[in-house]
Every structure is written in C-alpha cells, then in structure tokens.
Amino acid sequence: MSREIRIATRKSALALWQAEYVKARLEAAHPEVRVSLVPMVSRGDKLLDAPLAKIGGKGLFVKELETALLENEADIAVHSMKDVPMEFPEGLGLYCICEREDPRDAFVSNRYENLAALPAGAVVGTSSLRRQAQLLARRPDLKIQFLRGNVNTRLAKLDAGEYDAIILAAAGLIRLGFGERIRASMGVEESLPAGGQGAVGIECRTSDTELHQLLQCMNDADTAVRVSAERALNRHLNGGCQVPIACYAVLENDELWLRGLVGQPDGSQLLRAEGRAPAAEAQALGVRIAEDLLAQGAGKILADIYGEAGKA
C-alpha cells in the first residue's frame, strides 16, 4: 500500500512532541506508509497572553486543525484529549486513543516541596478554574495568579520569580523531558484531573476507513473506555477545559470507577460524586455521575461561570 498520512499539528513543543510520537508509532507499525507533519499556526497560539475565554473559548486550538482535515490538507489531527471539544464537525471523528501518560496534576516550584509546604499567602500560577477551585478549597490563603502559555513559557515564568509554585499537567512535563521539575505529583484526591488529561487522541475523516484500520495499532482499549466515561460526564455538564469540572476514571478488572467534581472557583464549595459500572456502560456512568453533580447544584455553579465568560 503506498499510502501517505499527513499529520496536522500546532507548533507548540507539546503538540509537536505528540505529532512526532504518532508519526513514529505509525512508521514502526506500517513501514510501507509515508508519514509527514503539516505544522499550522492557530489563533490561540498567536494570542497566548489573552484569557482563552476571550478569544474564542473552548476548542479554539482544535478548530484550525479540523479545517485542515475537512479541506483535505491533512489526514489526521493529534490532540490532547482534555482539549478536544465534545462534538465533532460533520465528517470528522475520533478514531484512536493512545495509552495514557501520568494523568495527575504536578506541583512545580523552585523553593517548596509541595502544596502543604507553601507559606501563607504564597502565589500559585494556574489559569485553570478546576485547579484553582481545588487549591483554594484546601488552602484559602493562597493567591492564585493567571498563568498561560505553553509548557516552556510557564516554566520560564516560574523561574523568573513571578510565582512561588505553578501547577501543570504531569503528562506535558514528562513528554517534554521536564519530569525532574515535578516536586510533587498531586494525588487525584488532592487535585482531580481534567477529563482526558494525559491521553492523546487522533481525529480523522469519517470516510477514510483505510486510515481507521491503520490507526488501530495505537489504540489503547483501557484508556479509550476511561476517557469515554470522562467525556460523557463533561458532555452532560456541557464542560470544556475552561470550567471547574474535574473527572477521572480508572478500570479495575472490567469495572470502571469514575469520580467527578464541580467546584466554585473560589474554593468555597466542591461538589463530588462517584460511582462504578461495567466498562461496557462507560457513557451511562459518565451521565449518571454528572446527574448526581447536577442534583447537588452543579448547574448553578456552571451557569454563573458561563455567564461571566459571556460578559468577558
């Protein structure tokens, strides 16, 4: 088969790492296939200092890549699953989810060992309302300060002394070779991750069935079912990665255990729900845990946040 696979990718270090990773796996499994990268600059990358909600909200990074697929300028787009919107455009779908890297949040600091070691009033950098809510619930004294940019930029801002500590996804740090910068991996009880965190997914045209077959070599069934439950929860709450929704599923034998959380950004309230179901009922489990959160008042918290984003 003399097939070519063109990978649309953003130019950030993490996006390029993920695209190269997929390229290497495809080349190893299918030596006859030519794989190339099609780097693109997205609007989100050009406006790194603006709050995401102000420049197009969720899915901003993904849209340009999807356009490239729909216009047949590329064949696949490689995504961090936590950034992928719940719905796909007509003609595109997710056809592969790779094995998950460490899903936890990481505490990174040049002076302090972990969250508990931070002095009163310490400045912690994150732009994630999900992380902020959980940090403040534990440590209401902390000052949370806005921090965006790619992984390298965020580390540089920490090193410049602007923050006492920053919180990042462990997966991004590990992939880029910054694993030794992690001072403490935050347990999921301490910081429940974002749905899909640490997992890489591959989107392509629904019509390209030959490609779907070629991608199967990288699909990880465990990760796929876990992320499917997490995304079902997010979808039911209409959540993207800019809202204080956390969820995390693990597979124990054939049973899924899903934990979910919706938090007030100031940490004054954290709603939690959890449950178990057979792996075959992953999506129903996600919906059930989301319903539990809604019954506790998650709708009100989220509506307030969507209202704020709308005004921005």
- Which candidate, 21, 24, 37, 29, places its Cα nearest to that of 1? 29
User: Tokens at residue 243, please?
Assistant: 């809202």
Asked if 172 touches ligand PBG (CB under 6 A), the answer is yes
State which residue, 247 or 277, has the beta carbon closest to ligand PBG.
247
| CA dist., res. 129 & res. 125, Å (int) | 11
* Region near ligand PBG per CB under 6 A, out of 79-87, 115-123, 248-256, 265-273: 79-87
Least CB distance from residue 85 to ligand PBG, whole Å?
A: 13
User: Which residues, numbered 225-244, are part of the site for ligand PBG (CB under 6 A)?
Assistant: 241
Looking up tokens 């919180």 gives: 167
Query: Is 83 known to be catalytic?
Result: yes
In which order are the strands placed within the sheet that holds 270-278?
A: 245-252, 255-263, 270-278
β strands within the chain, DSSP E: 4-10, 34-40, 76-80, 92-97, 105-108, 123-125, 143-145, 165-169, 184-186, 200-205, 245-252, 255-263, 270-278
Select the residue interacting with ligand PBG from 10, 23, 58, 82 (CB under 6 A): 82
β-sheet bridge partners, residue 257:
250, 276
Asked if 83 touches ligand PBG (CB under 6 A), the answer is yes
* Total interface residues for ligand PBG by CB under 6 A: 10
- The residue annotated as part of the active site, out of 83, 102, 164, 208, is 83
Select the residue interacting with ligand PBG from 42, 80, 134, 191 (CB under 6 A): 80
Least CB distance from residue 211 to ligand PBG, whole Å?
A: 22
Least CB distance from residue 1 to ligand PBG, whole Å?
A: 31
- Which candidate, 141, 70, 105, 40, places its Cα nearest to that of 241? 105
Asked if 168 touches ligand PBG (CB under 6 A), the answer is yes
State which residue, 168 or 224, has the beta carbon closest to ligand PBG.
168
β-sheet bridge partners, residue 105:
169, 186
Least CB distance from residue 15 to ligand PBG, whole Å?
A: 9
Positive/negative CA dihedral, 283, 287, 292, 297: positive
Least CB distance from residue 267 to ligand PBG, whole Å?
A: 19
* Region near ligand PBG per CB under 6 A, out of 134-142, 156-164, 165-173, 274-282: 165-173
* Region near ligand PBG per CB under 6 A, out of 168-176, 229-237, 272-280, 299-307: 168-176
| CA dist., res. 165 & res. 118, Å (int) | 8
Catalytic positions, written as ranges = 83
Positions touching ligand PBG (CB under 6 A) are 80, 82-83, 168-169, 171-172, 197-198, 241
